[in-house]
């Protein structure tokens, strides 16, 4: 039987500006390519269950995140940067969602089409210093900056985390190929023009001069943009459900109106910086969040709705003290590598919002600023290993103790696609359970084979996955050979004639040949009619 460990899960949140790693909540996952697997396989179907079967999951000591970021407040307490993210619209899809997301960074010095401090879903670009061609900075839609240094005549590679390489093509375009197969293409002006997934799903960006006019994808979903002729600020976002409008004052975004009547207001009331976002108000008059900054432009106090759940941050050199609303404090000692901050150690009762339940811990890091060893307050040590591309290859829990166990992960060459995951067996000490993955020509997971034990008897189980040309899951054939255990998925044709139904899930046939139908998709690509196997209709 495949070993099952108690699990703590890390949910990856948006990265704070200029901080390469991410804040976590309470569970740790190790194969980031699961984001690709999750996206390409299920598109929202059984995602959580699938994640738990794929991930390299291991027991960890109680240790807070190694990154100085409080996700629930959007605060990077190394720099004092405030991050605030809002999703104006998200349209469901058979492969990936199609969304317009805005992100505010209080310490950003950039002015975008949304005013000072704001970045947006489709604003990714490359920044090349005119007097230093040895570096290219990739500016993400979240506002995060990732520096790449020259690694060849026409290539630049990042220094931290998993490796990514930017290539200057002979056409004058730039490309960034991620290790799981997704390719970002930029024009000669280094603006993003296309994102293509391994299965063929593509998003295309159309410009008039320097202004982005529209974004469309393989399934006919699209957004278009209209700008103020004087300021260049975005005034109207046109979507399948109507127009979103944006209002500005003193170069700040002060209001967003949705087509169905709701809105958000943004206030900038910091006397030291007129572009610092201090509060967000919704259409009901609720203060969604608020922030107070110190004279050095750092978050000093942050609050949840209507001034509740205050946290306070004290800055002292490379030391930070974070205190929550219950007066629990944690003191952090910070370090820096390649210009990126991380947590070297922490002590204290542990503020409830800071992550982790222990009262102390320490960490060491690799040259790529990835965690090397984590030690909790009980001196439990977790050791990590990586390959040359930054993929995590080993996780050893309870290192140098009688209950030490290791999870080993191998990858296909030059990718972050998991090949095998080997775990020490619990039922049979000294033996292992192995999960092996294969992939099709489009980098979609093709088979998953689990070799383990039922008691002391070796067993092997294989699950097969099939896809169409656009990377949509068509069938999952489970490991049973004595009964039908195949799930079938059928989709509407990828034709404009099908309107909002285009390319969406039509039928699911279960192992008993029972069929569920999904009909009448709306502008958000949500099915408004579901017909169950008994013919009963549910209208949503």
For residue 41, pLDDT over 50 is answered with no
The least confident of 131-135, 206-210, 431-435, 495-499 is 131-135
The reply to whether 444 falls in a domain is: yes
| Span 345-363, pLDDT tens digits | 999 876 666 655 567 899 9
Q: What is the pTM of this model?
A: 0.83
Residue 278 pLDDT class (50, 70, 90 cuts): very high
Give 149's strand partners: 135, 157
For residue 31, pLDDT over 90 is answered with no
For residue 198, pLDDT over 90 is answered with no
392 dihedral zone (left: phi>0; alpha: psi -120 to 50; beta): beta
The reply to whether 448 falls in a domain is: yes
What's the pLDDT at 457?
86
What's the pLDDT at 485?
96
Structure token digits, residue 401: 């103790």
The reply to whether 208 falls in a domain is: no
Q: State which residues form the domain around 453.
A: 424-539
What's the pLDDT at 348?
86
What's the pLDDT at 161?
87
The reply to whether 438 falls in a domain is: yes
Residue 189 pLDDT class (50, 70, 90 cuts): very high
Helix, strand counts (H, E) of the chain: 2, 44
Backbone angles phi, psi at 497, to 5 degrees: -65, -20
What's the pLDDT at 79?
97
The reply to whether 527 falls in a domain is: yes
The reply to whether 28 falls in a domain is: no
- The domain tally of the chain equals 1
For residue 481, pLDDT over 60 is answered with yes
The reply to whether 479 falls in a domain is: yes
Give dist(CA 534, CA 515) in Å, integer: 9
For residue 37, pLDDT over 60 is answered with no
For residue 67, pLDDT over 70 is answered with yes
Give dist(CA 241, CA 29) in Å, integer: 36
The reply to whether 475 falls in a domain is: yes
For residue 103, pLDDT over 60 is answered with yes
Share of the chain above pLDDT 90, in %: 73
The arithmetic mean of pLDDT across residues 49-55, rounded, is 32
Structure token digits, residue 442: 């489009």
């Amino acid at each position: 039987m495949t070993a099952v460990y108690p699990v703590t899960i890390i949910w990856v949140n948006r990265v704070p500006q200029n901080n390469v790693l991410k804040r976590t909540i309470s569970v740790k996952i190790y194969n980031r390519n699961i984001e690709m697997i999750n996206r390409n396989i299920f598109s929202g179907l059984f995602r959580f269950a699938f994640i738990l079967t794929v991930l390299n999951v291991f027991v960890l000591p109680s240790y807070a995140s190694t990154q100085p970021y409080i996700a629930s407040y959007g605060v990077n307490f190394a720099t004092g940067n405030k991050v605030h993210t809002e999703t104006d619209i998200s349209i469901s899809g058979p492969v990936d969602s199609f969304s317009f997301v805005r992100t505010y960074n209080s310490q950003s010095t950039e002015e975008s089409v949304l005013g000072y401090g704001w970045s947006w879903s489709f604003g990714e670009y490359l920044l090349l210093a005119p007097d230093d061609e040895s570096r290219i900075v990739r500016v993400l839609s979240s506002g995060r900056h990732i520096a790449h240094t020259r690694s060849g005549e026409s290539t630049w590679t990042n220094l931290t985390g998993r490796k990514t390489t930017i290539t200057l093509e002979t056409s004058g375009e730039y490309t960034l190929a991620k290790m799981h197969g997704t390719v970002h293409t930029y024009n000669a002006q280094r603006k993003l023009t296309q994102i293509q997934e391994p299965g063929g799903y593509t998003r295309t960006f159309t410009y008039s001069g320097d202004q982005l006019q529209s974004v469309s994808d393989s399934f006919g979903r699209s957004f278009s943009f209209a700008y103020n002729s004087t300021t260049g600020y975005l005034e109207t976002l046109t979507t399948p459900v109507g127009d979103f409008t944006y209002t500005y004052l003193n170069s700040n975004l002060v209001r967003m109106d949705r087509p169905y009547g709701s809105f958000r207001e943004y206030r900038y009331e910091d006397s030291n910086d007129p572009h610092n976002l201090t509060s967000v108000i919704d259409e009901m008059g609720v203060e969604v969040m608020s922030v107070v900054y110190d004279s050095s432009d750092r978050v000093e106090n942050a609050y949840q709705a209507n001034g509740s759940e205050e946290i306070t941050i004290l800055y002292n050199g490379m030391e930070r003290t974070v205190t929550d609303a219950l007066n629990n404090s944690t003191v952090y000692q910070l370090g820096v590598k390649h210009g990126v901050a991380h947590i070297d150690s922490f002590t204290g009762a542990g503020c409830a919002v800071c992550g982790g339940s222990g009262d102390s811990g320490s960490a060491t890091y690799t040259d790529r600023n990835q965690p090397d060893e984590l030690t909790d307050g009980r001196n439990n040590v977790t050791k990590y290993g990586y390959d040359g591309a930054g993929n995590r290859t080993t996780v050893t829990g309870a290192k140098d103790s009688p209950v030490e166990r290791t999870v080993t992960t191998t990858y296909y060459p030059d990718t972050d696609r998991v090949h095998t995951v080997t775990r020490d067996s619990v039922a049979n000490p000294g033996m292992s359970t192995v999960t092996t993955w294969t992939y099709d020509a489009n980098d979609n997971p093709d088979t998953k084979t689990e070799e383990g034990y039922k008691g002391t008897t070796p067993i092997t189980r294989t699950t097969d996955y099939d896809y169409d040309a656009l990377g949509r899951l068509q069938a999952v054939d489970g490991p049973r050979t004595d009964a039908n255990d195949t799930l079938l998925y059928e989709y509407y044709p990828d034709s404009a004639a099908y309107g909002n139904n285009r390319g969406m899930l039509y039928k699911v046939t279960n192992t008993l040949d029972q069929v569920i139908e999904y009909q009448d998709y709306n502008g958000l690509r949500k099915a408004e009619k579901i017909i169950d196997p008994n013919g009963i209709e549910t209208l949503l």
